[in-house]
Amino acid sequence: MNLRPLPSAGARDSVAARLIFGLASTMVLALAACTSAAAAPQRAPAPSPDCMDARTMTEVRQPAPGEIVVAQGDGGRFRVHFSGACPAAAASPDTTLLAREGWVCGRGGEYARVGETLCPIAAVERIDAAAYAAAARQSLRTEGGTTVLDTVTVRGERRRGFAGSPNYCLNPRYMRGWSEDREGLRVEMAPRRAGGNRWYRVELASACPELAGSPSIRLHSGVGIGLVCGNAGDRVIVSASPASGFAASGTSRTRSLGARAGCPIIAVYPIQDR
């Protein structure tokens, strides 16, 4: 976290969380260490529970010119509304969030600085994982897709093209199992391979009766990237043999080969509070 002056306050009363973004499809988030003076007062608590701590941001997306969505290291997710359009707020190499003591609450005097432009922040709202995933997918269409890295140092050739985030994608290679509940399909992942998330919700375009009593399933990536995110062509494929996927516990009933056509996936996101 860097201490930076607000347009209307002194340096001790303002905190900037700096976002450093890479080329094309790679965005690097940098939150520098606090360098407050010895006499600086202790940081005040959040003015309200719905304030966003700019110091703990791990990912930023921009689904529309007038807003960004932010994921935090503690699992919190927020939508930040600007007073007007703020193009390239999540793609500029020189974007900074300015807020008193790092708390972004939409209370006035808070800005995103993009180059020489100040974009006033009008409101901040807490959102759930499903809303964040939907906004992230929208951002891929509006900004060409950006991925946040967990370091400010980039060595070697930069990756180009699409790379998904565990906030709205999963890698089927690291599935541990699956089950159905009242809300639909739930997938268990290896947390170390899924951003620390163990459970994911996989939303389907419609009812998928093939899942009932199926011995096993697999998740298919429709765009050939090895990740399932709710992109066109992503689907659940019901296998006729348990050896070809993850077996459903307590059943031995097999399905017809026609069930292998699969059920379209429209969204993927972590299940919170698990």
In terms of pLDDT, which residue wins out, 5 or 271?
A: 271
Average pLDDT of the residues of the chain: 75
Task: Examine residue 2 and state whether it is found in any structural domain, yes or no.
Answer: no
- The predicted pLDDT at position 193 comes to 92
Task: Examine residue 157 and state whether it is found in any structural domain, yes or no.
Answer: no
Number of domains in the chain: 2
Q: List the one residue out of 3, 181, 159 whose CA is nearest residue 96.
A: 3
Q: Tell me: the pLDDT tens digits for 49-69?
A: 899 998 888 899 999 999 999
Tell me the whole-structure pTM to 2 decimals. 0.71
Do 69 and 177 fall into the same domain?
A: no
Task: Examine residue 215 and state whether it is found in any structural domain, yes or no.
Answer: yes
- The predicted pLDDT at position 273 comes to 58
Do 141 and 37 fall into the same domain?
A: yes
The domain containing residue 63 runs over which residues?
11-149
Task: Examine residue 166 and state whether it is found in any structural domain, yes or no.
Answer: no
| Domain edge (last residue) among 149, 164, 183 | 149
Task: Examine residue 5 and state whether it is found in any structural domain, yes or no.
Answer: no
Q: Tell me: the pLDDT tens digits for 6-37?
A: 444 433 333 334 333 332 232 333 333 333 33
Q: List the one residue out of 83, 149, 151, 155 whose CA is nearest residue 119.
A: 83
> First and final CA of the chain: distance in angstroms?
30
- The predicted pLDDT at position 97 comes to 87
Task: Examine residue 156 and state whether it is found in any structural domain, yes or no.
Answer: no
Do 228 and 180 fall into the same domain?
A: yes
Do 27 and 134 fall into the same domain?
A: yes
Task: Examine residue 176 and state whether it is found in any structural domain, yes or no.
Answer: yes
Do 21 and 127 fall into the same domain?
A: yes
